[in-house]
Amino acid sequence: MSGQDVRTNNVMAVQAVANIVKTSLGPVGLDKMLVDDIGDVTITNDGATILKLLEVEHPAAKILVELADLQDREVGDGTTSVVILAGELLKRANDLVRNKIHPTSIIAGYRLAMREAVKYIEDKLATPIDVLGTETILNCAKTSMSSKIVGADSDFFARMVVDAATSIKTYNDYGDARYPIKSINILKAHGKSVKESQVIKGYALNMGRAAQGMVKSVKNAKIACVDFNLQKTKMQMGVQVLVSDPKELERIRQEELDITARRIKMMIEGGANVVLCSKGIDDMALKYFVEAGCIACRRVPKDDLRRVAKATGAQIILTLSDMEGNETFDPECLGTCAEVCEERVSDDDMIVLKDCKNTQACTMLIRGANDYMLDEVDRSLHDALCIVKRTLESEKVVAGGGAVEAALSVYLESLATTLGSREQLAIAEFAEALLVIPKTLAVNAAKDSTDLVAKLRAYHHASQTKPDKAHLAGYGLDLVKGELKNNLGEGVLEPALSKLKSIQFATEAALTILRIDDLIKLHPEQEE
């Protein structure tokens, strides 16, 4: 296929993908129920999750899925709006091409518009956090959650998220504050209501001790993270043992047990009093731990093991053999924390590591009625954590609720009329396309979008042309009442980084697809 056919085809595919997520945008967005080929159900309105679970065949539509994934990795939230924006930019570009404007001119215009938009946000729209005070961080978290299932309890959860994020604050080599979201563990436990979720200081593992005889808590814990079997040692594959005397068989069996026992004794003598093993531990081997007063856990997930190693300063031990071929245990590999204890939560036991050496790890324990609820709350909290991290690190916020898009649209439109080149049309279309966000927000809230968006533009036009109306720049939609309000003052905020990245990513993705003018498809050869 070539020429206009390809473009129309691509734009249709992209529109189809954008329309799927369109209704899930905003504080009153609706959820999607996705059922996969084996019948697993996911209920979510997180753009990235929806697109990940769709098996998209069309090559152009795949670009959008990758786009949402990129936004999710870079910013953590705003995945839905980035897809909708890219779809709209493409649709408008396609109309321009139909009107005999060369794609190259459009690409140049879009590029220019993107650069101007980014510059305008940085210079005019972004407000530093310190101007707005400490509530800002909470408000950013609330704005991120407003469209999610936890939106009803956003006050409670925003506090939780901000507590968790500030408790893991670390500094990098240049003295900048960093908030490694990875060191927050999110545990899900059935039962009770969502409001009874809590933040636990320390790293919690969703499992109990390996044997009931072990002590419940160990002070001044020395933690060994092992990644090999502590079961009865078997000979390697291909090793044959020829036995001439049947009485020797018993000794071989005994030796198999003794090797493991020696390994465990070596670890205990090296000072380890908590052993986390990612593989199995034999019941026979457990008695050595019980006698030594240690806590041992078996089948610890690899991810948890890595995070514990990072938090406590331990090294994951893959094998005990050293350079000489003997087995030795190096006490250097042990991590430390103030206490390791087993706590009971609903019906499950949890192992909690308190006051770790390196980072202040913390765990968010989510309670809820059923699995779907817990999974969705987990996704919502992850998005909110990422937003808090971005806000704290970049220290600049913008007003939410379509305020930025409306301001940019007005600004770019007036910019387009000053240009005497071909890019003028493309920039004007870019400005129009940005309005898709406030329009969609209003439509999803069952409000009159034409009316609201027109008012919004009038406000922003006034704020940009009349010096005495400059305070109108923070105005956006209030979707509960269906009117305009000052979102900067009311605390509907997003990190500036999120907006910048989504405009850049959406433009890049739209241009990638717009550049395509030929599609050559190879069919698999028919075998005889």
Whether 79 is catalytic is: yes
Annotated catalytic residue within 31, 375, 383, 478: 383
Percent of the chain with pLDDT over 90: 0
Is 359's pLDDT higher than 70?
A: no
Backbone angles phi, psi at 35, to 5 degrees: -115, 125
Question: Under DSSP, is residue 349 helix (H, G, I), strand (E, B) or coil?
Answer: strand
What pTM does this model have? 0.79
Which residue type does 376 have? E
- DSSP 8-class letter at 41: E
Instruction: Give the C-alpha separation, 402 to 452, whole Å.
Output: 11
Q: 446-483, pLDDT tens digit by residue?
A: 888 888 888 888 888 888 888 787 777 788 888 778 78
Strands 295-297 and 274-277, sheet pairing: parallel
Burial of 496 (0-12, 13-18, 19+ CB in 10 A): buried
Report the alpha-carbon distance of residue 478 to residue 485 in Å, rounded: 6
Give pLDDT tens digits for 279-338. 888 777 788 888 888 888 888 888 888 888 877 878 888 877 777 767 777 777 888 888
Q: Is 282 a catalytic residue?
A: no
Write down the pLDDT at residue 198: 82
pLDDT value of residue 346: 66
Q: What is the topology classification, in CATH, of domain 203-359?
A: GroEL (3.50.7)
Type of residue found at 59: P
Give 425's contacts (C-beta < 8 A, 6+ positions apart). 96, 101, 105, 106, 109, 416
- The catalytic position among 42, 44, 49, 80 is 80
Q: Report domain extents, the chain.
A: 203-359
- Give the span between the Cα atoms of 253 and 265, in whole angstroms: 19
417 counts as catalytic = no
Q: What is the DSSP letter of 368?
A: E
What is the predicted pLDDT for the residue at 59?
82
Are residues 352 and 217 in contact, defined by beta-carbon separation less than 8 angstroms? no
- The tokens describing 203, both together, are 């790293």
Cα gap 383→397, rounded to integer Å: 16
Which entry of 42, 44, 49, 79 is annotated as an active-site residue?
A: 79
pLDDT tens digits, one per residue of 254-280: 877 788 888 888 888 888 888 888 888
**Tens of pLDDT along 180-192?**
777 787 888 777 7
**Cα–Cα distances in angstroms (integers) from residue 306 to residues 183, 349, 460, in the given order:** 10, 21, 50
Q: Match 């199995």 to its residue by tokens.
A: 280
Could you read off the pLDDT of 362-403 as tens digits, one per residue? 788 888 888 888 888 888 888 888 888 888 877 788 888 888
> Any catalytic annotation for residue 383?
yes
Q: What is the C-alpha to C-alpha distance for residues 460 and 406, in angstroms, rounded to an integer?
A: 7
- pLDDT tens, residue by residue, 192-242: 777 888 887 777 887 877 777 788 888 888 888 888 777 777 767 777 777
Catalytic residue among 31, 42, 46, 72: 46
